[in-house]
Each structure stands twice: as structure tokens, then as C-alpha cells.
Chains A and B, each alone.
Chain A
Amino acid sequence: MGKKTGEVQTVDQFLDSTLESVDSAEDLVLDVAQKAGFPEEDLHKIGMAVRESMVNAVVHGNQYSAHKKVHVSVSKGPDRLTVTIADQGKGFDLGTVPDPLADTNILRHSGRGMFLIRAFMDELQVRRLSPLGTEVTLTKYLGRK
């Protein structure tokens, strides 16, 4: 589904809670980002941030439930790309995510996803949805180093 409002173009999809959807979301967002003119290195960062966000939604949020969907929305504005990924899970407190760079956590198997999303995007917003779900909004600006 797509719509155009002024200079902002939005495409969105409801995806199953599967690992295949992680690939689908990455492809969807990268297609829009490529057409928006992001350079190759930014495309890699955007793709990875979307992948990590989708894994959080599918694995930790919806826990692979066949009854829950992930809503992915990508908007292309004149100077930015905005991606919103919302699951229907119980949610989590961002403040409880351990710092993966702390000496005590550096050799942990997991826990680097949110850190990488922050590192690769210009902005990250996380909000709880009512009654269930977590929505993350990722923003990348064109031409920003």
C-alpha cells in the first residue's frame, strides 16, 4: 500500500512474524531508500538497522506468533527517510537493555541490536503502544555524515 502526501511518500505493509519478513522489510525499505538517493554506505546502515528492528519485533515482540503482525511503514521526505516498525508484543523497557560496551557485557552472546540501530541511524524513538506492542521509529537524513 502506498500514498503520497505533499512531498512525503509512504509505503506500508503488515508482515507475518517470521524471519522471512525480516528480509522482506529490509528489501522494502532499501528499495525506497535507494530511490531517495542514499549512498551505498548509508543503504547498508539503514538495511542493518531495519533488520535489527525487525528481529526485535518478530523474535522478542511477537515471539513468532502466527496471530500477530508487524506493521512496517517507510516514508520518504525531501531530506529524510523515516521507518516505523510496530509489533503486537508485550513490550520492553529500553532502560533495562544492558550496555553492550560495558566490560561485563562485552562477551555476551546477545544484546547488541538496539546499540547498532542507534549507531547506524540519525534518530531512534521507541514508544509503547496500547494495549499491546512496541513501535520504533528510525530516521536517516540525506547527506548527513
Chain B
Amino acid sequence: MSVKLSTRQVGDVSVLDVAGRITLGEGSSALRDTLRDLMSKGHKKILLNLGEVSYIDSSGIGELVSGFTTVANQGGQLKLLGLTKRVKDLLQITKLYTVFDVHDDEASAVRAFS
């Protein structure tokens, strides 16, 4: 399995559950397409649940950054939920950890959307 994506609504927040590998090719393009689809349908509060992501490469990091900036440019917010240690470490060494609003708990993440 490369990557599995599923979307659900919690109030007015769209939660995108991601599982598997976000790497160059199928994984990163699937994430990009799903985020674009959500935005094209007017969803502006997006919570990216990365709790089941086993692997992410620089292309996957790039998709996270692109998603974050695109949503923000459209007046929305993208937050991250449930980072594994490896993903957290990657965001820290690339100095992106403080760029994203990161949460460990879904309920508090949903509340954080203003």
C-alpha cells in the first residue's frame, strides 16, 4: 500500500485521515489531489490526521507545505494531527514544526479552528 486517504466531517472541520507512505509519485499526488478537491468544494478548515503515516519524504513534506500555503491563501486553515515521532522529527529538522499548528488530540484540534 502506498497511501490511503479518507475524509470525514467533524462539525465544520474536514478531517483528512492519511495512512501509509507519502512519497514522490502516488502518495504525494494523491494527497495533493485530495486537498485540492476539498478546497474546490469550499472546505476551508482542514485537519490533516497523519497518525497512520509510516513514511514521508521531501516530496511529501513539500505537499504539506503547499497544502498549508494554498489553504491559507484562500482564507482557510490547515492544521496537523497525530504526528508520529519520525514525522515530528522531520518537521523539526526542516524548521517546519513551528510553521504548522500541530495537535495530539482530535477534539482540541477541532476546537482550535476559529
Give A contacts to B, CB under 8 Å: 19, 22, 44, 48, 51-52, 55, 59, 100-101, 106-110, 112-113, 115-116, 119
Residues of chain B within 8 A (CB-CB) of A22 are: 24
B65 and A48: CB pair below 8 A?
Answer: no
Q: What sequence of 0s and 1s flags, for each residue 36-56 of chain B, a beta carbon within 8 Å of any chain A beta carbon? A: 000000000000000000000
Contact partner of B86 (CB less than 8 A), chosen from A44, A100, A109, A119, is A44
Residues of chain B within 8 A (CB-CB) of A51 are: 23, 57
CA distance in complex: A106, B95 (Å): 7
Classify the interface of chain A: helix, strand, loop or mixed.
helix
Interface bracket on B: 20 to 34
CB-CB nearest in chain A for B57: A51
B23 and A106: CB pair below 8 A?
Answer: no
Give B contacts to A, CB under 8 Å: 23-25, 57-59, 61-63, 65-66, 68-69, 86, 90, 93-96, 99
B61 and A112: CB pair below 8 A?
Answer: yes
A59 and B62: CB pair below 8 A?
Answer: no
CB-CB nearest in chain B for A103: B95
Closest Cβ of chain A to B61, distance in Å, is 6
Contact partner of A107 (CB less than 8 A), chosen from B24, B59, B86, B99, is B99
B94 and A115: CB pair below 8 A?
Answer: yes
CB-CB nearest in chain B for A116: B58
Residues of chain B within 8 A (CB-CB) of A109 are: 62-63, 65-66
B24 and A106: CB pair below 8 A?
Answer: no
Contact partner of A112 (CB less than 8 A), chosen from B25, B58, B86, B99, is B58
